[in-house]
Amino acid sequence: MSQNTIREFAERTDVPLERVVVQLREAGVASDDPDAVLSDADKEALLEHLRKTHGRSEEGEDGAPSQITLKRRSHSQLKMPSGGGERRAGARGTRSPASARTVNVEVRKKRTYVKRSVVEAEAAEQDVHVLERVLADDLAAAAAAAEEAAAAAAAEAAAAEAEAAAAEAAAKEAAVVSSDKQPADAEPASEPEAEASIADIEAEQAKADSEAARKKEIEDEKERKRLAAEAKRERESEERAARKASRGKGKGRKKPDGRTARSARGPAGAASTALQQEFERPTAPVVRDVQIPESITVGELAQRMSVKAADLIKEMMKQGVMATINQAIDQDTAILLVEEMGHRPHVVREEDLEEAVFGRSGEPEGEKVSRPPVVTIMGHVDHGKTTLLDYIRRAKVAAGEAGGITQHVGAYRVSSDRGDLTFLDTPGHEAFTAMRARGAQVTDVVVLVVAADDGVMPQTEEAVKHARAAGVPIVVAVNKIDREDSDPDRVKTELGALEVIPEEWGGDTQFIPCSALTGEGVEDLLSAIALQAELLELTAVQDCPATGVVVESSLDRGRGPVATVLIRNGVLRQGDNIISGSEYGRVRALLDERGERIEEAGPSTPAVVLGLSGLPEAGDEVLAVEDEKKARELADRRREKSRDKRLQAQKAANMEEIFSQMQDQEVKTVNLVVKGDVQGSVEALTQSLVNLSNEEVRITAISTGVGAINESDVNLALASEALLIGFNVRADAKARRLAQETGVELYYYSIIYDAIDQLKAAISGMLEPETQEQIIGLAEVRDVFRSSQLGQIAGCLVVDGVVKRNNPIRVLRDSVVVFEGALESLRRFKDDVKEVRSGTECGIGVKNYNDVRPGDQIECYERITIQRSL
């Protein structure tokens, strides 16, 4: 069976005959005749040759890549009508932009090119493999057949021997048996051969089939590619023609890529041609109108401009801003970026959104009705504020009530001969100014309590300044007149010095002698307040959605969040939906100051409101809204913003901004709050600064005082947009924290001329680079030792920043500078060190100063040159 011709062999292996002949010739089997018989020996020689030469073709490659793959990615946009189906010519002109939708199309193409020589070599290689396999199989089959034949011959010889030994008579039978057996014996010899050859043929057939299928696949692939390339060429030329035609009409066509992607999905032909009409390639850069809220994330902004976030981040880097995709950026930065990227920014103010939601803007409109005044009581410590408020509440509110007032409600309403009055039950100017700083000016009249036996004291002065800064009239309650040592005239004189002039002296301030303890004169005081209010002609709109201000709020175990609200306009009713700060809710119940349920609360009425989602802050505005959903939406949005947003927006004045504000004609007055170590220097500094006023700019000191800068000063500066100046004094911890939170800048000086120069530069717009002091560390003196070598050593703990050996220092006692100089020594245990960081103890020797005391603070600072910018 293995003795077939070369041609047959070639056909069986499906290898081209020429290639088989060439291989045979190379193997030394010189036979050009395809019909010559191919013996097993020939096959062996051929197999040996093929095995030797196998793989040689790979040698000698020049290392150049045998194939290259090209990848290409293109983007386009399809503008489609949302209706989809109708694609009438001319319909586009009438379609509103809102009905169009844009589809971004990205087409990825990948093409692999293979060297021709490589393909050919691969085909030859394949053939060689096939030949090798077939030859090996043939030879193996031939060897097996030879073995079988040898075994059969041996069996025959044994049988012959047995025959010779058998009897003649039995020879017939034996011959029959033997002849029966023979074929049976012969069969095993011939059968395996037959089986082997069938399996052989089948295997060969299968191999040949798979080879053929593979080749066909390659062919098909080539054909497909050729057809695709042809189709693409055709399409492109069509599109070119179409583009030319449309350009003639002044219109662009869609990108070819776009259609490819589209037509791949849908049926080709008419539909794709019609679709083609819908895509417009912009002829000029697309300028988008981008809405910019107060804060927006980078990703959101990129989306609004229809650019990739990565591109936007790149642009930001160019501008020197590093940001991540989820980072929120402020409105100014966003505007800059949008402009930079060629689009039109549109600023969206939160107020606009609120107006859009509530349909309200500014003051409510409607008929105005008169309303009672809202009164705040201020005065120096122990002058009787609380006693006075208690007396009024007891006498006026609780009178006749069985249980009296069970709990404090933050505000209450009382009647006087001249009408109703609403008292805020939080005495002192801190709450007053803090509320004002939050944008809630609720007080109409300030009652200034001055003890007749004590006269005007520092907080009396402060209260006057705060009231004045807020533009609120004062009624003076000259208290404690029941005391023997009381001297009401002294109060008049001292307040007169502060330009609070009594009516009887020709001024406009009512002075009412009274006693909060005995109640004497309190009725007169109430009348005086009512009279003052009459002069103010206070009005409110009653017929509008209710608005108010939160006076205080607390969490009640049984009732949930409880807020005392002072109604300003409109009437708040039970069941109203309200929003306050970032809280919202439905008014579940309204209570008056006695804790009794009321149905409604009108202007200047304090009411306890139950039903809010959480605790609003004092000073938050309260608004009644149409439906709860809107309230919730707005509350959620407000919650997203930082709680202190309003405070931050309402920054105190800052030197850098003064000049630009003046240029914008926004500010013609510069307010100052000045605190200093001693009265003399405060006066001198204030006077020098006020004297800088000229025709265009007026500089006013709205508050001056001795001592550390406190929270109240920060609030006042914030509320009055004033510069907060400390001369040889510092802000205390609380004030520092508040200043940081609210963005109030603190200006510390030790030399009057520095302050004058800086303010002068600020208002004249000549902000030269200047040297500023920056406090870098603060140490608290815990103990003081004496050392024979080093003199006085202060055992300190560095509580903030870092104290450096070579930097200048100041010694502060009760936040007042008592010494300025340098360090003699800075030690940790026995070692001299260059610096000591926060949280570490150290020993400090102050040069030329031997009066450091426990409790003092040592402030370490550095002088830095700052390029001022406007």
Terminal-residue alpha carbon distance, the chain: 104
Task: Name which of 516 and 719 has its Cβ closer to ligand GTP.
Answer: 516
Distance CA 253, CA 77 (A): 11
Count of beta carbons in the 10 Å neighbourhood of residue 339: 12
- CA nearest neighbour of 704 among 719, 684, 733: 684
Distance CA 419, CA 537 (A): 13
Give the shortest CB-385-to-ligand GTP separation in angstroms: 4
Give the shortest CB-435-to-ligand GTP separation in angstroms: 18
Residue 853 near residue 781 (C-beta atoms within 8 A) = yes
Give the shortest CB-325-to-ligand GTP separation in angstroms: 53
Alpha helices by DSSP H, 249-268: 256-265
| Residue with token string 């030790």 | 750
Name the β-bridge partners of 705.
Answer: 675
Residue 340 near residue 315 (C-beta atoms within 8 A) = yes
How many helices and strands in the chain, by DSSP H and E?
Answer: 24, 36
| DSSP track, 58-115 | GTT--S--SEEEEEEEEEEEEEEETT-S---TTHHHHS-GGGEEEEEEEEEEEEEEE-
What are the binding residues for GTP?
Answer: 379-386, 425-429, 479-482
Three-state secondary structure readout of 355-396: HHHHCCCCCCCCCEEECCCEEEEEECCCCCHHHHHHHHHHHH
Give the shortest CB-862-to-ligand GTP separation in angstroms: 41
Task: Name which of 451 and 647 has its Cβ closer to ligand GTP.
Answer: 451
Task: Name which of 449 and 541 has its Cβ closer to ligand GTP.
Answer: 449
Q: Which two tokens stand for residue 514?
A: 């009274």
Task: Name which of 426 and 604 has its Cβ closer to ligand GTP.
Answer: 426
| Biggest CA pair distance of the chain | 175
Give the shortest CB-473-to-ligand GTP separation in angstroms: 21
Residue 501 near residue 473 (C-beta atoms within 8 A) = no
Task: Name which of 2 and 479 has its Cβ closer to ligand GTP.
Answer: 479
Give the shortest CB-426-to-ligand GTP separation in angstroms: 11
Three-state secondary structure readout of 542-571: CCCCCEEEEEEEEEECCCEEEEEEEEEECC
| Residue with token string 């009640």 | 556
Task: Name which of 386 and 792 has its Cβ closer to ligand GTP.
Answer: 386
CA distances from 790 to 83, 115, 795, 834, 841 (A): 91, 89, 13, 17, 18
Q: Which two tokens stand for residue 480?
A: 């404690």
Task: Name which of 482 and 862 has its Cβ closer to ligand GTP.
Answer: 482
Q: Which two tokens stand for residue 690?
A: 């006020």
Give the shortest CB-493-to-ligand GTP separation in angstroms: 20
What are the binding residues?
Answer: 379-386, 425-429, 479-482
Task: Name which of 106 and 520 has its Cβ closer to ligand GTP.
Answer: 520
Residues in contact with ligand GTP by the rule CB under 6 A? 379, 381-387, 427, 479-480, 482-483, 515-517
The closest residue (CB) to ligand GTP is 384
Distance CA 383, CA 605 (A): 28
Give the shortest CB-412-to-ligand GTP separation in angstroms: 16
Task: Name which of 478 and 781 has its Cβ closer to ligand GTP.
Answer: 478
Task: Name which of 486 and 574 has its Cβ closer to ligand GTP.
Answer: 486
Give the shortest CB-564-to-ligand GTP separation in angstroms: 20
Give the shortest CB-523-to-ligand GTP separation in angstroms: 14
Task: Name which of 13 and 459 has its Cβ closer to ligand GTP.
Answer: 459
Give the shortest CB-393-to-ligand GTP separation in angstroms: 12
Q: Which two tokens stand for residue 106?
A: 């990205």
Distance CA 548, CA 593 (A): 16
Name the β-bridge partners of 347.
Answer: 292
